[in-house]
Amino acid sequence: MSTTTTNTATAPVPAIRYAAVTFDCPDPAVLARFYGEALGLPVLHSGDDFVLLGRPGSPALGFCRLAGYQRPTWPDPSREKQAHLDLGVDDLDAAQARLLALGAVEPPGQPDPDRWRVLLDPAGHPFCISTLAAS
């Protein structure tokens, strides 16, 4: 285990690193297939109830089966989306067409379609595509 020390050197501070974001969903294989194709990420681990995508040594995306899963309600104003992914793209129109072909859905009411687009993944999680995040 890697640790660093505080300035006072009185107690070790554990090293903490960003490892993954995991999404609840009804079918991990379906959602992993969508994001794997969209982002070109290989499967690191696959089981009936959990799939992990990524590359060794890099942050990953996980998908966990949740019994009784309920889709997010965004853009329904009664409940906010809570969190979402931002994906950088070179061409908004081409990226949107590709993601829709992979199974994403375009919700009504795009907030700023000239700068970014909001889409819903196959389990209903909102995510954004933007040329501002591309680099």
Do residues 51 and 63 lie in contact, with contact meaning Cβ atoms separated by under 8 Å? yes
Nearest to 49 by CA among 71, 85, 23: 23
pLDDT digits (tens, 9 = 90+) for 99-133: 999 999 999 888 888 888 999 999 999 889 998 75
- Would the pTM of this model clear 0.85, i.e. be above it? no
Which CATH code, of 3.30.1510.10, 1.20.810.10, 3.10.180.10, 3.40.350.10, is assigned to 71-135? Answer: 3.10.180.10
Non-local (6+) Cβ contacts of 97 within 8 A are: none
Q: How confident is the model at residue 8 (pLDDT cuts 50, 70, 90)?
A: low
Do residues 51 and 28 lie in contact, with contact meaning Cβ atoms separated by under 8 Å? yes
Q: Domain-by-domain residue ranges, the chain? A: 18-68, 71-135
Q: Which CATH class is domain 18-68?
A: alpha beta
